Homo-oligomer: A and B are copies of this chain.
């Protein structure tokens, strides 16, 4: 049994800690700047306790998982006090391994789950791809076995590759979702039901993942139908920022398929 402590109780910790707790990597401590949040997460775990400070010098844990927002990682690294032989990892898609370099342990690594997490939505961790990085072979071995305990999809990846993948993930997830938000707003403004678009959205993504997004592309920009593009721009003229989105994305599609 390997004992684990979490620093952070946000969306990633909220799903990752309970997933680990069901395996040989039991979670024993949760620290959060907001103790109420730590307490809510501890309630989902078997034997974990809320940790009030970042002083883990007397902790029995072997793996310490930093799951805080990117801009808070550095201050955690500066403040945290670890026991001997501790492994320290972060879970960020965009931060390099190097941000952990100044921690008082040589055993550092990255444990990055590539998924979108919200507290209100359950996730099947078995299907979440996990990306591992470490320069230390022994640490890497432990992180990989920890990853394999909760997911079927475990990959080794470098900081540089992870950064590229994170940018790609922003397009694939965050921007895709924002397109749906804009779409919902247009429907709402025109007193139309967003539900009417749901079969289209589900089929779009289903098709894209089946035959590949390039083969799946349709619509006025893909057809080079400039008359419709002009009409849509005219329709959107009352909302300058949405019109700009429409223009820039359509232009990018036109340039890709018609030049």
**Quick check: A190 and B161 within 8 Å, CB to CB?**
yes
A1 at the B interface (CB under 8 A): no
Q: How far is the CB of A179 from chain B (nearest CB, A)?
A: 5
Q: How far is the CA of A183 from the CA of B166 in the complex (A)?
A: 10
Residues on B with C-beta less than 8 A from A246 are 167, 170-171
**Quick check: B200 and A116 within 8 Å, CB to CB?**
yes
Residues on B with C-beta less than 8 A from A227 are 70-71
**Quick check: A200 and B221 within 8 Å, CB to CB?**
no
Contact of A177 among B69, B216, B235 (CB under 8 A): B216
Q: How far is the CB of A116 from chain B (nearest CB, A)?
A: 5
* B interface footprint on A152-174 (CB within 8 Å = 1, 0 otherwise): 01010100010111111111111
The 6 closest A-B pairs by CB, nearest first: A174-B219, A172-B183, A164-B190, A180-B213, A171-B183, A168-B186
22 contacts between A and B (CB under 8 A): A69-B223, A71-B227, A114-B200, A116-B204, A120-B211, A121-B216, A123-B203, A127-B199, A163-B235, A164-B186, A165-B187, A167-B186, A170-B246, A172-B183, A172-B200, A172-B201, A177-B213, A177-B216, A179-B179, A181-B214, A181-B217, A202-B205
